[in-house]
Structure 1
Amino acid sequence: MTRNYSAKSLAVLLRARMHPDPLPSPAPPPQPSPPPHTDPDTAASVRHWLHASASAAFPDPATLDRFSDGYRSLDHGGRREVLRSLATEYDVPRARVRDLMRQYMSLASAAAAAGGDEAEAGAEEGKEGAAALLYRMEQGLRDALQPRYSGFLEAMNAQPGGLKLLAVLRADLLALLGEENVPALRALDSYLKEKLVTWLSPAALALHQITWDDPASLLEKIVAYEAVHPIRNLIDLKRRLGVGRRCFGYFHPAIPGEPLIFIEVALLKDMASSIQEVLWDVPPTPESEATCALFYSISSTQTFATLSPIPGFMQWLLAKLASQIKLAETESQESNSLGGVSSAFKEPVLLPIEEKMIRDAHEQADGKQAIELLDDLLKSSQWVKSDKISAALKSPLMRLCARYLAREKKRGKVLDAVANFHLQNGAMIERINWMADQSEKGIQQSGGIMVNYLYRLEHIEEYAQSYSSTGVVHSSPSLSQYLEPTNT
């Protein structure tokens, strides 16, 4: 095979994220992290640009661009302040709606009274005039019932790159709703969701065949987003775009160069019985002899993820430890009368290896059981200051946190309120993150652990339905390693 790579080939080779042998489990593309701190001047500027855009009948495109750039630069807290402001300060103008409703009811009553007197001169003309005025007032009511942020969202959608910004904004809004499920935020989310469904309608998508001659930036996305059969190297990529192969992408005109979905097709003599036949068909079937078009990979490139708190985890865990400690004490006291029979409610909260790690890390065990030592450590909140103790607690806390999120339920729904919100909206539990929130509140609520909920557009409806109807919690292999631990 020739080694004379073109400039495009080298660009893809240098920029693309390749997968070495053996093939790893596919992972979603990394989400960009906002900066750790927002400059107060930047936050104030973003709110100013929001006000200027949301208050104008025809928002200035330059101001919308400034808002978009400024919003992306905000940190976690700054973005949430903007969302709260958008939802509350630019909501439906209810005072104006009430005034229009009073005027409308008064006019409707007068029109009804006038309409009853057919003998009065000019009655017909009066009825027509009143009806026309009612129609105008009804139109005014419809306009007034629109939230004031509607014009801002419409204008942002019309901006180059604005639709993608709105998708980012809704992802942030979903994360905020998981913590602050208030009516104004729900109304904003419902309105934005309805608009996105319209703006991202399949009728607006364009199908484009992706070839080796497309820009390197597009080919890089194909490598990065291939979620079914990862692309291993440059040669593999070129094969999938070469003879006997087709790759098609769905593009939205408002997000140029960004395939929302792409489909890979193999032209074969017969229907394949294994993926090896498709990926390593060397030499490829001559296209003139092909009788079967096999669709072997469909990948969605757009995902939304949150980094969310787990506010109920530590409360649940401490209650679990307290009940097990109490059961152990009761068994010890009544062992003679019970003849050594164990309580049906007792369960091994810790694995044997975890018990050993906790005892080894605790300098003053005083003959206590491992769950008692764990209970003491978690109540003090000082364990985070010791690297040795933190290392010992990581395994049991991550495992128990995964269990709490995915398996502990009441009436078929998970116990954690934030998890329940995201799962019923179609998310999956992607992964849990150790020491992601080291604030005092984060340690007290969840031992510093945070969770990524992932919204895969192609599965949102399916996951929401299965969770609502059967309580199925969808999670990634990353979480399964904690849900199915070994006893070694």
Structure 2
Amino acid sequence: MSKKNLAILMRARMRSTNPTKLSLFQFPKEIPSNPQENDHIVRNSNQGIGTSSDFGNTGRSYDVVRETMHSAISASKTGVIDITLTDFQEGYFSLSLEDREKLLLALAKEYDVNREQVRELVKQYLGLETPSSDDGGQQVHSPKKEALSSVFYRIEWNLRHALKPTYETLFERLNTHPGGLRFLSILRADLLSILTKENSPSLRTLESYLKEKLGMWLSPATLELHQITWDDPASLLEKIVAYEAVHPISNLLDLKRRLGIGRRCFGYFHPSIPGEPLIFIEVALMETVAQTIQEVLWDNPPIPENQATSALFYSISSTQPGLAGINLGKFLIKRVITLVKKDMPHVSTFATLSPIPGFMKWLLSKLSSQSRFAGDDHSGSTQSNSPSSTFSERVLLPDEEQALMSLSDDSSFGSNGMEVLMNLLSAKNSNWATSPRMLPVLEPILMRLCARYLLQEKKRGKALDSVANFHLQNGAMVERINWMADRSEKGIHQSGGIMVNYVYRLENIEDYAQSYFGSGKIHASPGIHSRL
């Protein structure tokens, strides 16, 4: 094994998996921030960032770090600010999880907007006499009007600045400080974790404000698109191995295949966080749009690139939990489409092979609730205004109900088709996924329900499924759903093995995105609609 291969393998295996040493955020594989923004992007749980050893410091007391934070906000001399910001970053990482939470709460409450100042300025503003427009539509410049306008402008300027929280100074100073942008990402990851336990309005405001700032500082104009290849440093390649969480990289041959002929990997980088992609996407160049992940990752050798007509996006991974909800993936996909089209004009189809992470969770919840309503009806609750009659719906078609009942050997399987289906899908061993007897019965049922889930189940007018929402808001259409496309344990558990192809038609991207954003309209192929 070469030194480079060994370095990639060893570093990927040795990355810290202890989240308490990283940030307060407990790094789930998917971050539950705003599901309508970018929960589609899977984040790896093995985050090698933010340890106190990275900054070479030992533990400090909470009071000392809090005083350092105050100095970082209030200092006015450039040299002092730089030293204090470095000191604050080191001190923050030395704190216990409880003290980090305590510090962020103090930052949110004590360095918020000065509301007394805002109230006074509003009072002054409302007390001003509005300049008269009694001039017959002509611009009349009098010394009195000029003076009054000057007062308006001054108070408006003061009001704009008074509405900015004091902690904005800390964020902006950190953004221009070496390592500060990465630190702010970790800070927000900690905030997201705290908010899962304590939904404090002041903390929520702090997190939202920091998210807005990060979104502005990480605009596409500030990001660099880089094609990641086997020739890149081992330190970068081991990050790809560690952060890939959609379809984990099993070994070095797998990594080489994903970076070799017929494959592409692109990442967004920021100059302030060198050598570490914020997000990366993996692309397979193929003759046709793949229907299973097996054929992308394992089955066939890649075709010669000049024979490819399709670019398939099969994995997109974020490396920074603190950037949850900031839609970097949207810009990355569009940049990659433009780049591939320019380099390979013969590639005419741009599609995805995407997971459907919420399907089984939604289906099992629906079956559970409807089974209870069905049980109420059988027990004699037949009044038209009873809860069961109000909320019940027919999940299964009559022929599906009959087919499912034929699978049950005894009553322990369930008294109706919904119970049978729920019991089969919720079984820990997932034997149904390998049963020649059950699969032909379950395929049409699950495919129909999956089409319903993708096209009809919505939240706040948009697709309930986070991955669907992401691609649809970017201008894609739902092209095809694929049976047993991901036979891994994760694939069976999340979506019953079903995967979906979203297609980006270059001539329709903007129109589809606008209609989805405006009215929630989901564009889909006739084949998908025929399953409903």
State the TM bucket, normalised to the shorter chain: 0.5 to 0.7
Offset at residue 67 of structure 1 (A)? 1.0
User: Partners in 1 of 2:300 and 2:205 — Cα distance?
Assistant: 55
Which residue among 168, 173, 186 is the counterpart of 1:155? 173
Match of 1:76 among 97, 103, 111: 97
Cα-to-partner distance string for 1:164-216 (whole Å, 9 max, x where unaligned)? 22222222223333444333223222322222232233443322100111121
Is 1:52 the counterpart of 2:71? The answer is yes
Q: Contact 1:54–1:90 (CA<8 Å) still a contact in 2?
A: no
CA distance in 1, matches of 2:85, 2:258: 40
CA distance, structure 1, for counterparts of residue 188 and residue 469 of structure 2: 14
Matched, 1:14 2:33: no
**1:470 maps to which residue?**
none
Cα distance change, pair 237–130 in 1 and its aligned pair in 2 (3 A): same
220, 242, 254: which one pairs with 2:238?
A: 220
1:42 and 2:76 matched: no
Deviation at 1:39, TM superposition (A): 8.4
Kindly report which structure 2 residues correspond to 1:235-384, keeping only aligned pairs within 5 A, or say none.
235-280=253-298, 283-303=301-321
Paired residue type of 1:10: L
Q: Which has the higher contact order (CA 8 A, sep 6+)?
A: 2
- List runs of 5+ in structure 1 lacking aligned partners: 19-24, 307-398, 400-422, 425-455, 463-476, 482-488
SS at match of 1:229: coil
Instruction: Using the TM superposition, name which of 176-185 and 156-165 deviates more.
Output: 176-185
Quote the residue 2:115 is aligned against.
94
Deviations 1:16-46 (A, max 9, x none): 239xxxxxx99932357978xx988432221
State whether residues 272 and 278 of structure 1, in contact with CA within 8 Å, keep that contact through their aligned partners in structure 2. yes
* RMSD (Å) for aligned C-alpha atoms: 4.5
1:205 — aligned with what?
A: 223
Q: Which portions of structure 1, spanning 4 or more consecutive aligned residues, are displaced by more than 4 angstroms? A: 31-35, 38-41, 456-462
Residue number in structure 1 paired with 2:182:
164
- Distance change >3 Å, CA 163–CA 236, structure 1 → 2: same
When the two structures are aligned, how many residues end up with a matched partner?
A: 309
Does structure 2 conserve the Cα–Cα contact (< 8 Å) formed by 1:34 and 1:74?
no
Q: Which amino acid aligns with 1:77?
A: E
| CA distance in structure 2 between the partners assigned to 1:78 and 1:175 by the alignment | 14
Identity of aligned residues (%): 53
For residue 88 of structure 2, what is the amino acid of its counterpart?
F
The letter for the 2-side match of 1:44 is D
Post-superposition offset of 1:235: 1.7
AA partner of residue 99 (structure 2): G
Q: Spell out, residue by residue over 1:413-452, the C-alpha distance to the aligned partner (whole angstroms, 9 max, x if none).
A: xxxxxxxxxx99xxxxxxxxxxxxxxxxxxxxxxxxxxxx
Pair 1:128-2:146 in alignment: yes
SS of 2:303 mapped into structure 1: coil
CA-to-partner distance for each residue in 1:360-417, whole Å, 9 max, x for gaps? xxxxxxxxxxxxxxxxxxxxxxxxxxxxxxxxxxxxxxx9xxxxxxxxxxxxxxxxxx
1:34–1:75 CA contact under 8 A, matched in 2 = no
Find the aligned partners of 2:217 and 2:279 in 1 and give their Cα distance: 16
State the TM-score, normalizing by the size of structure 1.
0.54
1:444 corresponds in structure 2 to none
For residues 241 and 267 of structure 1, the distance between their equivalents in structure 2, rounded to whole angstroms, comes to 12
1:425-464 map, 5 Å:
none
Is this contact kept in 1: 2:187–2:322, CA < 8 A? no
Distance 1:171 1:283, change over 3 A: closer
1:16 and 1:253, CA in 2 relative to 1: closer, same or farther beyond 3 A? Answer: same
Question: What is the SS of the residue equivalent to 1:242?
Answer: coil
Distance in 1, Cα, partners of 2:193 & 2:228: 34
Q: Which runs of 5+ in 2 are unaligned?
A: 15-28, 30-41, 325-427, 429-458, 472-488, 494-532
User: Offset at 1:304?
Assistant: 5.6
Instruction: Give the aligned residue type for 2:70.
Output: H
Tell me which residue corresponds to 2:44. 28
CA distance in 1, matches of 2:313, 2:245: 14
Which residue identity lines up with residue 112 of structure 2 in the other structure?
A: D
**Deviation of 1:253 (Å):** 3.0
1:138 and 2:156 aligned: yes
**TM-score, structure 2 normalization:** 0.49
Q: Secondary structure at the match of 2:61?
A: helix
Query: Quick check: 1:269–1:289 contact (8 Å CA) kept in 2?
Result: yes
Larger Rg: 1
Q: Secondary structure at the match of 1:71?
A: helix
